[in-house]
Amino acid sequence: MAKLPGVTITGASGRMGQMLIRQVQASDRLALVGVVERPGHSWVGQDIGGALGGADIGVRVTDDAQAAISAADAVIDFTTPTATLVFAEQAAEVGAVHVIGTTGMTDAEIARLTSAAEKTVIVRAGNMSLGVNLLTQLTRRVAAALDADYDIEIVEAHHNKKVDSPSGTALMLGEAAAEGRGVSLAEVSDRGRDGLTGARRRGDIGFAAIRGGDIVGEHDVMFAAEGERIILRHVASDRSVFARGALKAALWGIGKAPGAYDMLDVLGLNDAG
DSSP 224-237: EETTEEEEEEEEE-
Residue 273 lies in a domain: no
Q: How far is CA 231 from CA 151, 152, 177, 234, in A?
A: 11, 10, 13, 10
Annotation says 41 is catalytic: no
Residue 199 lies in a domain: yes
Q: Do residue 113 and residue 248 come from a single domain?
A: yes
Q: Do residue 67 and residue 150 come from a single domain?
A: no
Residue 25 lies in a domain: yes
Q: What is the pLDDT of residues 234-263, one digit of tens each?
A: 999 998 999 999 999 999 999 999 999 999
Q: Do residue 11 and residue 117 come from a single domain?
A: yes
Amino acid making up residue 54: G
Q: Which one from 41, 119, 162, 256 is the annotated catalytic residue?
A: 162
Residue 152 lies in a domain: yes
Residue 50 lies in a domain: yes
Q: Do residue 232 and residue 147 come from a single domain?
A: yes
CATH code of the domain covering residue 118: 3.40.50.720
- Bridge partners of 47, per DSSP, are 60
Q: Do residue 86 and residue 137 come from a single domain?
A: no
Q: Do residue 119 and residue 92 come from a single domain?
A: yes
| 157 vs 235: CA distance, rounded Å | 9
Amino acid making up residue 237: S
DSSP state of 65: H
Annotation says 161 is catalytic: no
What per-residue confidence (pLDDT) applies to 266? 94
Q: What is the mean pLDDT of residues 9-22?
A: 96
Residue 99 lies in a domain: yes
Q: What is the pLDDT of residues 29-47, one digit of tens each?
A: 999 999 999 999 999 999 9
The domain tally of the chain equals 2
Q: Do residue 62 and residue 189 come from a single domain?
A: no
CATH code of the domain covering residue 136: 3.30.360.10
Q: Do residue 119 and residue 186 come from a single domain?
A: no
| The pTM of the whole model exceeds 0.85 | no
Q: Do residue 223 and residue 247 come from a single domain?
A: no
What per-residue confidence (pLDDT) applies to 75? 98
- Structural domain harbouring 207: 130-236
What per-residue confidence (pLDDT) applies to 273? 46
pLDDT, greater one: 230 or 104: 230
Task: Give the strand order in the sheet containing 189-190.
Answer: 189-190, 205-211, 151-158, 217-225, 228-236
Q: Do residue 151 and residue 102 come from a single domain?
A: no
| 109 vs 99: CA distance, rounded Å | 16
Residue 166 has φ and ψ, to the nearest 5°, of -65, 165
Q: Which one from 98, 158, 219, 234 is the annotated catalytic residue?
A: 158
Residue 63 lies in a domain: yes
Residue 271 lies in a domain: no
- Contact (CB, 8 A) for 155 and 202: no
Q: Do residue 120 and residue 11 come from a single domain?
A: yes
**Alpha carbon of residue 9 to chain centroid:** 14
Q: Do residue 184 and residue 107 come from a single domain?
A: no
